Amino acid sequence: MRPAALDEIVGQKHIVGEGKLLQRMIKSNRLSSIILYGPPGTGKTTIANVIAQLTSLPYYEINAVSSGKKEMEAVVQEAKLLGKSILFVDEVHRFNKSQQDFLLPYMESGLIILIGATTENPHFEINNAIKSRCTVLELTHPQPDEIKEVLQRALHDERKGFGKLNIELEDGVLDELALHCGGDIRAALNGLEIAVLSTDPNDDEQILITLDIIKECLQKKSLHYDKKGDHFYNIISAFQKSMRGSDVDGALHYLARLIEAGDLDVICRRLLVTAWEDIGLANSHVPQMVLSAIQSAERLGLPEARIPLSVAVTELCLSPKSNSAYKALDHALNDVRSANIGEVPDHLKDAHYRGAKELGRGVDYKYPHDFGGWVKQQYLPDHLKDKKYYKPKESGQEKRLAQFHNRIQELKKS
């Protein structure tokens, strides 16, 4: 069922659609080296095969793991005889330095057009020498309706699919496949194939595919979760940003995905940093509550750990937000790191030693408690004395701190 034309490829219209970059490259006969980056089963190899058919160029396939320099030399020798050729390299992120150094001159001369496929983020995993000579095209998971389109095509195609068989589907079978293949078209087709070929016809010579059969053939829902992969960091990022954005439904969704993957350590770390980074002064009891939830989750273990975790996530989402404290510190750190510091005022310097007074240390220091808790005096170095790092927010509990802070600022001016 592999598509033979670009318009048969589903879920990647942003790449293969009319007027998009790949279509323009092929129509203008100006195909250049590309890297196809995306999750498994989204069509990377398919797109490479279709390109080869549409351009009629010699086409070679190798795997960066199992193929060495010898295989690449053979491809280049044939290309020198046949002319410009396409080299498809699966797992291109696994190219070693020797492979890259050998291939680069032929890419630069135009003899070899590289089409690399990878599930890893090329901006992290692929050598700059290769990446700089390629256009990176990102593939995404197709939507369930698009996957159903492929499954329908497989059911009705008499030449390449099951069109000649008498297949009856129970209501919801295609929805189950499309929803629970995790966006992997190959997994959906595999599930359908196993279901059809493993089911005996009934008395009416029908192959009846039920929901139970499909669930058994799918075996396990695909989460596309690789702790070393780019998708792993995307889920973590979405989890934390959902909490920061006060979207409790989004945060619980990503929490569920992390729980299903069993990654308790990552969940706990993200909760704690969110409590301090995004809630902060607006609800200062939250970090302690989150820490308590984390300790409970670690003591309970999964699956019971989901209970305190759900409470912590909901509290973080629905709490007022403030990042003013750590942002103020970051501004101060920027000054320190750029050597914008200055001398500590004499009245603040250490005066606990003999001779300090003669040096002017601690002289004229005003002890705030002797003045009711606050007294006007300079604390920052001279050239920073008017610097303002902290900018309070009128959010949650920080509103009380903001009022006190603003009163002090007014007293300073008086």
Tell me whether strands 135-138 and 34-37 are parallel, antiparallel or unpaired.
parallel
**Residue 1 counted as domain residue:** no
Long-range own/partner contacts, residues 233-240 (CB < 8 A, 24 or more apart): 236/266, 236/270, 239/267, 239/270, 240/270, 240/273, 240/274
Same domain, yes or no, for 12 and 124?
yes
| Number of independent structural domains in the chain | 4
**Residue 326 counted as domain residue:** no
Q: Say which CATH number the domain at 298 has.
A: 1.20.272.10
Write the Ramachandran bin of 353: left for phi over 0, alpha for psi from -120 to 50, otherwise beta.
Answer: beta
Same domain, yes or no, for 21 and 120?
yes
**Residue 33 counted as domain residue:** yes
How far apart are the C-alpha atoms of 398 and 367, rounded to whole Å? 26
For 393, the token pair is 């927010």
Domain that holds residue 167: 144-218
For 202, the token pair is 């009934």
Could you give phi then psi for residue 51, rounded to 5 degrees?
A: -60, -45
Amino acid letter for position 149: E
End residue of a domain, out of 138, 167, 202:
138
**Residue 329 counted as domain residue:** no
How far apart are the C-alpha atoms of 120 and 126, rounded to whole Å? 9
The sign of the CA dihedral 366, 370, 375, 379 is positive
Per-residue pLDDT of the chain in tens (414 residues, 90 and over written 9): 888 888 888 888 888 888 888 888 888 888 889 999 988 878 898 899 888 888 888 999 998 888 877 888 899 999 999 989 999 999 888 888 888 888 899 999 989 999 999 988 888 778 788 888 898 999 988 888 999 999 999 999 999 899 999 999 988 889 988 888 878 888 899 999 999 999 998 888 889 999 889 888 876 544 445 555 557 778 899 999 999 999 999 999 999 988 887 778 889 999 999 999 999 999 989 999 999 999 999 998 888 999 999 999 999 999 999 999 999 999 999 988 988 888 888 888 888 887 878 888 888 888 899 888 888 999 889 888 888 998 988 888 888 888 888 888 888 887
Same domain, yes or no, for 211 and 246?
no
How far apart are the C-alpha atoms of 60 and 115, rounded to whole Å? 10
**Cis check: omega of the bond before 303, within 30 degrees of 0:** yes
Q: Say which CATH number the domain at 167 has.
A: 1.10.8.60
Q: Say which CATH number the domain at 371 has.
A: 1.10.3710.10
Q: Say which CATH number the domain at 116 has.
A: 3.40.50.300
CA neighbours closer than 13 Å in the CB half-sphere of residue 123: 5
pTM, rounded to two decimals = 0.61
